[in-house]
Amino acid sequence: MRPLTYYIDKFIIALYAASLAGGILVCTSYDANAADENRKSVNIRAVASTSRTADYMSADDFLLDNEKAADSEGISEYLQKLKKEGLYHHENESEEDELDDEAMYEDPAPEETDEKPEDETKDVIDIDPDDWHLMLVNKQNPVPEGFEVNLANINDSMMADERIIADIYEMMEAAEDDGVSLMICSAYRSYDRQKTLFNNKINKLMKEGMTYLEAYKVGSMNVTVPGTSEHHLGLALDILTGSYTEMDDGFGDTEAGKWLAENAPDYGFILRYPKGKEEITGIVYEPWHFRYVGRKYSKDITEKGVCLEEYLKGEF
């Protein structure tokens, strides 16, 4: 019979062997898990590196390789985690097609600033159609019945509304200072005077072979019908220069015509019948015809590039 110590030694050996075997099994299990995690990391890197622009990687791409992680965490949170762990990065952060986070991240709030947009800082002009400066006279809007104007002399032969005389003189003197010679050839006209001018135009066209209706249609584009002329208001001037006395398009190309187009708004006048607005004004381009609207409106109308009809309708 073997001594008791023999069996105690066997038991200790068996216990040791069992303990050793268990340790190997645990280590093997941990190694397998580590390898699996390593493969997962490699897969994530592979997806990010094979795409030329990882910015456009969809959520489906991540779900295919990281199904459990994507299921347990929101896509946006998971992306953030990958970034922190260095598993998701861009080769060039400055490229235009950086991470397309529009559907995942909110845009950063714009920085607050005390500066107002440019449009809000500009003075907004209140357009008052009842202001005498903006009185509209054309074929559809004749001079009001009983209209009266207080006239004052520009020179010995011409008159205008007394309220604009000072600005006329100032404009003429400014042109002279710039070496430009201006010559006012027409200002205020009475109804009878306008009637004479209009009839003369009709008769001339009829002598050229037009019927009365044809002459009336063409003539009214050049000489306004009596009762519909701004000259009745005492607010319109026809201006030429000594070296060019023809009322035609060519005046706009003269030194005087260019000076007026650029500088007349500084003194309250606008080019009343601009080129390209014939269908609106009903009058052909007249680079010599300037209408007083006051300094409050003249620059605004000119800068907006509109005619008086458009301005009063707010069409700009």
Per residue in 249-283, pLDDT (tens digit) is 999 999 999 999 999 999 999 999 999 999 999 99
**276: helix, strand or coil:** coil
Number of domains the chain contains: 2
Residue 197 domain flag: no
pLDDT digits (tens, 9 = 90+) for 177-225: 999 999 999 999 999 999 999 999 999 999 999 999 999 999 999 999 9
User: Do 14 and 75 sit in the same domain of this protein?
Assistant: yes
| Residue 299 and residue 153 in one domain | yes
Query: Are 132 and 275 in the same domain?
Result: yes
The secondary structure of 30-78 as a DSSP string is: HHHHHHHHHHHHHHHHHHHHHSS-GGG--HHHHHHH-HHHHHHS-HHHH
pLDDT score for 256: 98
Residue located via tokens 């000259």? 231
Q: What is the rounded radius of gyration, in angstroms, for the C-alpha atoms of the chain?
A: 44
Domain membership of residue 95 (yes or no) is no
Residue 214 in any domain: the answer is: no
To the query of whether residue 286 is one of the catalytic residues in this protein, the response is yes
Beta bridge partners of residue 153, listed in sequence order: 159
* Residue 267 placed within a domain: yes
pLDDT confidence of residue 31: 46
Q: Is residue 222 part of a domain?
A: no
Residues 55 and 158 in one domain: no
- The domain that holds 156 is classified in CATH as 3.30.1380.10
Please check whether residue 299 is in contact with residue 266, taking contact to mean a CB–CB distance below 8 angstroms.
yes
**Alpha carbon distance 77, 42 (integer Å):** 20
- Domain limits at 34? 4-84
Instruction: Identify the active-site residue in 111, 286, 303, 315.
Output: 286
Tell whether 309 is covered by a domain. yes
The 236-240 sheet, strands edge to edge: 183-186, 236-240, 289-292, 269-271
Calculate the alpha carbon distances from 255 to 130, 184, 243, 250, 251 in Å. Answer: 35, 15, 10, 11, 8
Task: Say yes or no: 185 and 128 in one domain.
Answer: yes
Which of 32, 60, 84 is a domain's end point?
Answer: 84
Does one domain contain both 307 and 234? yes
